[in-house]
């Protein structure tokens, strides 16, 4: 449904674009697009929607050329931007109705249904909305006319956890309906929750495309053990072992149960097992990439 070939956007020396991004997103798939801020996620999205023109390479959405057939593509794409900017003086309901008038069908009923799900107050002025509420407007806007493709750029940014889960339920319904979803985010837990595959983008390059399960297997835990008689050595599972004051810090990759059995015999004063931060997971991939 979304196919890019060596898609490149060069902004000049000082700004990062995207370089040779090649990917193939299948129909009905939820594709996560992850990378830290500034890696080129939004550039990629904007190129697909022809807000900006690629420097080289090509891309097709539903087999249509992103430049030549952009209007036809947009007719079939629902888009939620990272930062939502709509006409401040308009009332939410008027704005949503205005927006649906670009399409041929009548979406009034679905519009109200979605707004109800997301607890969006339709009677307020857009300018008075918080960023989370503006995001809701964007989500309603994208989902209301049931497009074939949904492109999300940081869709959960600003949404509270309750609404986030409503949003994910809505996404699942969209997937069941057969929509293809491009989900750009730097929030790994979001991507993990919903996506079938993920692409990791680093400094403008798509460095890896993997199934979400494989990514999860590679996920490590951060361990801190406070102990006097501890003498574990680094091995294939225990990485980056460091002693800071009286505690040992390391990253553990593998079956956590095996680790617990291994350290059973030590006298442990304190232990903490934490999820690595997103940065650490990125670092894991990023470093691996650097070594190659």
Interaction between residue 13 and another protein (CB under 8 A)? no
DSSP annotation of 125: B
Interaction between residue 199 and another protein (CB under 8 A)? no
Residues 76-135 binding another protein (CB under 8 A) are: 77, 79, 81, 83, 85-89, 98-99, 101-103
Interaction between residue 71 and another protein (CB under 8 A)? yes
Interaction between residue 24 and another protein (CB under 8 A)? no
How distant, in Å, are the alpha carbons of 5, 60, 223, 240 from that of 234? 41, 47, 13, 7
Report the residue count for the chain.
292
Q: Which stretch binds another protein (CB under 8 A): 28-36, 72-80, 112-120, 197-205?
A: 72-80
Interaction between residue 180 and another protein (CB under 8 A)? no
Residues 6+ apart with CB under 8 A from 105: 145
Binding residues for another protein, total number by CB under 8 A: 25
Interaction between residue 75 and another protein (CB under 8 A)? yes
Q: Which stretch binds another protein (CB under 8 A): 67-75, 186-194, 236-244, 259-267?
A: 67-75
Pick the closer one to another protein by CB: 88 or 173.
Answer: 88
Q: How far is the CB of 285 from another protein (least distance, A)?
A: 28
Tokens of 29: 């798939």
Q: How far is the CB of 218 from another protein (least distance, A)?
A: 35
Which phi and psi angles does 237 have, rounded to 5°? -95, -30
Which of 91, 147, 139 is closest to 119 using CA atoms?
Answer: 139
Tokens of 113: 């249904």
Candidate list 26, 53, 189, 283; residue touching another protein; CB under 8 A: 53
Q: How far is the CB of 172 from another protein (least distance, A)?
A: 23
Angstrom distance (rounded) from CA 44 to CA 39: 10
**Are the C-beta atoms of residues 165 and 189 closer than 8 Å to each other?**
no
């Amino acid at each position: 449904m979304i196919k890019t070939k060596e898609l490149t956007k060069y902004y000049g020396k000082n700004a990062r674009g995207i370089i040779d991004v090649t990917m193939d997103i299948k129909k009905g798939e939820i594709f996560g697009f992850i990378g830290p801020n500034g890696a080129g996620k939004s550039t990629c999205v904007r190129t697909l929607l022809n807000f900006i023109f690629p420097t080289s390479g090509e891309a097709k959405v539903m087999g249509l050329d992103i430049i030549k057939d952009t209007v036809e593509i947009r007719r079939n794409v629902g888009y939620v931007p990272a930062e939502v900017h709509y006409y401040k003086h308009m009332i939410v309901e008027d704005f949503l109705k205005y927006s649906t008038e670009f399409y041929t069908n009548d979406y009034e009923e679905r519009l109200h249904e979605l707004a109800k799900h997301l607890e969006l107050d339709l009677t307020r002025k857009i300018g008075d909305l918080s960023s989370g509420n503006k995001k809701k407007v964007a989500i309603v806007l994208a989902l209301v006319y049931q497009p074939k493709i949904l492109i999300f750029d940081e869709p959960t940014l600003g949404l509270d956890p309750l609404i986030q889960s409503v949003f994910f339920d809505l996404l699942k319904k969209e997937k069941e309906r057969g929509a293809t979803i491009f989900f750009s985010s730097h929030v790994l837990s979001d991507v993990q929750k919903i996506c079938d595959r993920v692409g990791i983008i680093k400094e403008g390059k798509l460095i890896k495309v993997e199934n979400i399960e494989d990514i999860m297997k590679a996920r490590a835990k951060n361990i801190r053990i406070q102990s006097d008689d501890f003498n574990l050595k680094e091995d294939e599972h225990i990485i980056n072992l460091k002693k800071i004051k009286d505690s040992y810090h390391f990253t553990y990759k593998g079956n956590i149960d095996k680790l617990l059995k291994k350290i059973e015999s030590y006298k442990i004063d304190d232990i903490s097992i934490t999820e690595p931060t997103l940065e650490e997971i990125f670092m894991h991939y990023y470093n691996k990439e650097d070594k190659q």
